Structure 1
Amino acid sequence: MTDVILPVLNEAEALPWVLSRMPPDLTPIVVDNGSTDGSGAVALRLGAQVVHEPRPGFGAACFAGLVAATADLVCFMDCDASLDPGDVPRIAAAVHAGTADLVLGARRGVPGAWPAHARLMNAGLAFELRRRTGVPLTDLGPMRVARRTALLDLGLVDRRFGWPLEMVIKAAAAGWRIAEEPVLYHPRIGRSKVTGTMKGTVRAVRDMSGVLAA
């Protein structure tokens, strides 16, 4: 079994699509990070486990989901319908088989799904990760699978947008086997709070730059 952790901030529009496509052997854990659009209630109505994390920040929501999870494997993924939960078993396969410790979904964008400024930011981060760690990643993908207890042991401390980057850096430093698999990246449902806006992209770059500096 795999628990799928879905950090949510005002994703009531996207939740029905995401949860309806969740394979039956996956358990969705929706972490409501202060939504004002009823996202938590929508998720409950659709049968998901809901965790409320009042502290703002993507990393805070991810960590709350990680603490709430009970399965051996956990998957983190965005809950804006840009990623298909049907891809999770394929991303999890190598971790489940014991041939990898962390697998990321490398996004292959449907036309119009991935803004140019966000693609450039991601390419720069992937290059910096390759340079610093030697891990041949092409994407700091938002869909990723690892073992729950191993992630807790990494001692991740970032609670904002530096969380995904810190995970890869610390995993590489710990000698984890890190791999990636291609996934389709679809146009999101609803308004983007991060890379879909220039303000959100700047905020993410700031948080990730702090992680790199540390």
Structure 2
Amino acid sequence: MVDVILPCLNEEEALPWVLARMPDGFRPIVVDNGSTDDSAAVASAYGAHVVQAPQRGFGAACHAGLLAATADIVCVMDADASLDPGELPRLADALGEGPSLVLGRRRPHGRGAWPLHARVGNSVLARSLNRRARTVLHDLGPMRAARRDGLLALGLADRRFGYPLEMVLKAAAAGWRITELDVAYRPRVGRSKVTGTVGGTVRAVRDMRRVLAEVAP
């Protein structure tokens, strides 16, 4: 079994599509990060394990899901239907032996799938990461796979949008093998709270730059 962590904030419209496409052997863990809609009820109705994360923040939700997971391999992905759970087995299979992290490199499919401001911000951060960590990555995307015990051992501390970058930085510093696989990236369902808005992108970039400055090389 593989556990799939789905940070969630008001995604009642998207969750049915996401959860209905979850592959066999992949258990969805929907982490409700203070939703004011019926996200938790919808997730439960579709058979997901629902975890409450009252501390707001993307990293807080991801880490609550990681603590709730029990499988050896865990995946993380957005719950907004921009990413297809059907891609997850390829990422999990690519882990191989030893400490490793597999990232989904987003490839836009459909108009408005990845706004220009978000792509530019992502590209700048990826270049900064590559210089700092000596990685060769193109994307800091939200779909990824790793082993649960390894992630816990990294001691990830950020609870905001810097969490995904901190994961890569610390994995690289620990000598993990870090690879990318192409995944389709579609227009999200519902109102965007991060990359679909300029303000959200600015907050994400700010948090990630802070992590770049704080995490020791």
If the length of structure 1 is used for normalisation, what is the TM-score? 0.98
Q: Distance in 1 between matches of 2:97 and 2:86?
A: 21
CA contact (8 A) 1:94 1:100 kept: no
Q: Distance in 2 between matches of 1:22 and 1:186?
A: 17
Partner of 1:53: 53
CA contact (8 A) 1:113 1:187 kept: yes
Q: Distance in 2 between matches of 1:104 and 1:30?
A: 20
CA contact (8 A) 2:99 2:150 kept: no
Query: How far has the Cα of 1:49 moved from its partner?
Result: 0.2
Q: Which runs of 5+ in 1 are unaligned?
A: none
Taking the TM superposition and a 5 Å limit, the aligned residue runs for 1:125-136 are 125-136=125-136
- Compare 99-108 and 14-23 and name the one that shifted more: 99-108
SS in 1 for 2:4: strand
Query: How far has the Cα of 1:202 moved from its partner?
Result: 1.1
The letter of the residue matching 2:149 is T
Partner of 1:101: 100
Offset from partner CA, 1:57-96 (integer Å, 9 cap, x none): 000000000000000000000010000000000011121x
Query: Identity over aligned residues, as a percent?
Result: 68
Query: How far has the Cα of 1:100 moved from its partner?
Result: 6.2
The letter of the residue matching 1:29 is I
Q: Which runs of 5+ in 2 are unaligned?
A: none
CA contact (8 A) 2:73 2:146 kept: yes
Q: What is the root-mean-square deviation of aligned Cα atoms in Å?
A: 0.9
Query: How far has the Cα of 1:112 moved from its partner?
Result: 2.1
Query: How far has the Cα of 1:46 moved from its partner?
Result: 0.8
CA contact (8 A) 2:99 2:147 kept: no
- 1:183 correspondence with 2:183: yes
Taking the TM superposition and a 5 Å limit, the aligned residue runs for 1:1-214 are 1-95=1-95, 97-98=96-97, 101-110=100-109, 111-214=111-214
